[in-house]
């Protein structure tokens, strides 16, 4: 009888009663065949592998990661809270040592959701990894976390949330932004002034196969992780790099995904995108589960697998080698100055325009980080969108210094008095205080 080498908890929640719209890729049917495959393989009968039902994330859980305008309930549905709750359940299983590893096979995904949320972009409303990470920090005091995003699309949401955070290392492997949504994720995007080199982007050219993906993993990701020494490694496990995916142009196979997870050995994996729901997901998810559990996955083979057709052209290999060179260097020798934004007084200021493709919302925001030198710094974001008038988000980080904390409360009070903001969301992570204002 099979026994898992690493015990594995799987939170499987296909949300069979929820879709963005009936024919949208993010629909009821998405994990149906994955469930069929996992059940037919008898995965949950393997000793050490167990299935769990997800918890439901609370409003505070979401607010720890996001500023939601006008409020959390307005930008999320129950399915988003369950999806994030599933990621939290996975984290809890590992932290409580119930399992060595856990995989949140949940939908909808979240890695395009940024710090501020006015609606849905890239099928994502709230960032389920970020909600999970902030929950881990609050409940278990975890400090150093690495997120390796292997979705085919750049994880621009996760990047935005942890742009200024030196304790969360974000590495994204994705199809080059010049050829795919969301059009970002170039090596020069490498973090804010307090976290330079803690955001690493590895854009891969169309046509990249297992060989190229594993090359980037071996040459860039693994050496960086060895140096960063995270307490927890999270894989944002999107599966749209698969050669059969309808909306991308990569050539990764189920074997490639399994091998990636075997080498990366993440404590936690969270499902992101992946819409070849019949030809890829059942096999890729099976491969990931087996690899995470430390079991043989060499027999996993998807229909249409043809190594000849998927062979990576020489020039693609050479190009990836160059990208690896650049990306790796950015961690070990980060630039002295951030690529955008200005320093004003004790603040670092960035202005951003964000488009929410799924909900067709445009947002303009001014992000300000206080560079106090003693803590991660008070974060202040002013945002307006086609959905909401001017709103304010204020965040006092974990382990904030007294100065930043006091200033946070002062700004909150002044903003309430002046009344220039329609909605205010205030989060004090140090003393666990949440304030919503404007209703």
Partner 1 sequence: MLLGIDVGGTHTDAVAVSRDGVAASCKVRTDHADLLVSVRGALENILSRVDRAKVRRLNLSTTLSTNAIVEGRTEEVGALLIPGPGIDPYNSMLCRHFHVLSGSIDHRGTEVKRLDQAEVAAAVDSCLKADIRVFAVVGKFSTRNPRHENAVRLALCRGEGACARGDFLTLGHELGGRLNFPRRMATAFFNGAVWRLYNRFADAVEKTLADLNLGHVKVNVLKADGGTFPLALSRRMPVQSIFSGPAASVMGIIALCDITHDSVILDIGGTTTDIAVFAGGAPLVEQDGIHIGSHPTLVRALKVHSIGIGGDSALTVLNGVVRVGPNRLGPAVAEGGSVPTLVDALNAAGLCALGDAEASRAAVAALARTHGREPEALAKEAVDAAAGSIHAAVREMTAEINDRPVYTIHELLEGRRIVPKKVYVMGGPAEVMKMPLFRKFQLSTEVPPDYAVANAIGAALTRSTWDLELFADTEKNVLFIPSLQHRENIPRTYTLEEARRDAVRHLLGHLGSLGVVLDSAEAQITRADSFNMVDGLATVGRNIRVKCQVKPGVAFRLTGRA
Residue 218 tokens read as 């071996």
| Contact indicator for 146, 225 with CB cutoff of 8 Å | yes
The CB-of-82 to partner 1 minimum distance in angstroms stands at 6
The CB-of-303 to partner 1 minimum distance in angstroms stands at 5
| Contact indicator for 267, 102 with CB cutoff of 8 Å | yes
For residues 284-303, which are near partner 1 according to CB under 8 A?
286, 290, 295-296, 299-303
The CB-of-259 to partner 1 minimum distance in angstroms stands at 16
Judged by beta carbon, residue 161 or residue 258, the one nearer partner 1 is 258
- Is 112 a residue of the active site? yes
Contact call for residue 403 and partner 1 (CB under 8 A): no
For residues 300-319, which are near partner 1 according to CB under 8 A?
300-303
The CB-of-14 to partner 1 minimum distance in angstroms stands at 5
Active-site pick, 66, 80, 99, 112: 112
Contact call for residue 248 and partner 1 (CB under 8 A): no
- Binds partner 1 (CB under 8 A): choice among 6, 20, 27, 389: 27
For residues 49-108, which are near partner 1 according to CB under 8 A?
51-54, 56, 78-79, 82
Segment near partner 1 (CB under 8 A); pick from 16-24, 332-340, 360-368, 394-402: 16-24
Judged by beta carbon, residue 134 or residue 302, the one nearer partner 1 is 302
The CB-of-101 to partner 1 minimum distance in angstroms stands at 18
Judged by beta carbon, residue 41 or residue 138, the one nearer partner 1 is 41
The CB-of-60 to partner 1 minimum distance in angstroms stands at 18
For residues 251-280, which are near partner 1 according to CB under 8 A?
278
Residue 172 to residue 234: CA distance in whole angstroms: 12
Contact call for residue 163 and partner 1 (CB under 8 A): no
Contact call for residue 6 and partner 1 (CB under 8 A): no
Active-site positions read 112
List contacts with partner 1 (CB under 8 A): 1-2, 12-18, 22-23, 27-29, 32-33, 35-37, 39-43, 45, 51-54, 56, 78-79, 82, 246, 278, 282-283, 286, 290, 295-296, 299-303
């Amino acid at each position: 009888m099979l026994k898992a080498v690493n015990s594995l908890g799987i939170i499987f929640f296909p949300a069979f009663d929820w879709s963005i719209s009936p024919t949208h890729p993010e629909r009821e049917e998405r994990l149906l065949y994955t469930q069929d495959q996992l059940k037919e393989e008898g995965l949950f009968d393997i000793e050490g592998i167990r299935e769990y039902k997800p918890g439901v994330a609370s409003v505070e859980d979401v607010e720890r990661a996001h500023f939601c305008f006008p409020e959390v309930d307005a930008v999320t549905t129950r399915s988003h809270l369950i999806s994030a709750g599933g990621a939290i359940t996975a984290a809890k299983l590992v932290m409580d040592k119930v399992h060595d590893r856990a995989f949140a096979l949940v939908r909808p995904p979240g890695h395009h959701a940024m710090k501020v949320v006015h609606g849905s972009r890239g099928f994502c409303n709230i960032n389920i990894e970020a909600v999970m990470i902030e929950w881990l920090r609050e409940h278990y005091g975890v400090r150093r976390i690495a997120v390796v995003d292997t979705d085919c699309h750049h994880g621009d949401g996760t990047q935005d949330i942890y742009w200024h955070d030196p304790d969360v290392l974000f590495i994204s492997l994705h199809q080059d932004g010049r050829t795919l949504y969301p059009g970002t994720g170039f090596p020069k995007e490498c973090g804010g002034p307090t976290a330079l080199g803690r955001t690493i982007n590895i854009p891969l050219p169309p046509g990249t196969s297992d060989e190229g993906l594993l090359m980037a993993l071996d040459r860039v990701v693994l050496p960086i992780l060895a140096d960063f020494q995270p307490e927890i490694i999270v894989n944002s496990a999107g599966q749209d790099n698969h050669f059969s995916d309808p909306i991308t142009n990569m050539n990764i196979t189920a074997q490639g995904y399994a091998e990636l997870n075997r080498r990366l050995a993440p404590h936690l994996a969270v499902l992101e995108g992946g819409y070849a729901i019949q030809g890829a997901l059942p096999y890729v998810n099976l491969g990931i589960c087996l690899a995470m559990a430390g079991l043989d996955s060499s027999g996993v083979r998807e229909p249409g697998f043809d190594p000849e057709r998927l062979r990576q052209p020489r020039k693609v290999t050479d190009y990836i080698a160059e990208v690896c060179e650049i990306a790796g260097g950015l961690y070990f020798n980060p630039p002295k100055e951030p690529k955008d934004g200005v320093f004003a007084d004790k603040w670092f200021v960035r202005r951003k325009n964000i488009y929410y493709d799924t909900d067709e919302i445009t947002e303009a925001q001014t992000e300000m980080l206080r560079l106090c030198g003693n803590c991660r710094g008070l974060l202040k974001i002013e945002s307006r969108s086609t959905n909401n008038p001017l709103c304010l988000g204020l965040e006092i980080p974990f382990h904030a210094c007294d100065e930043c904390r006091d200033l946070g409360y002062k700004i909150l009070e002044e903003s309430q008095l002046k009344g220039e903001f329609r909605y205010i969301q205030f989060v004090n992570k140090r003393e666990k205080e949440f304030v919503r204002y404007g209703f």
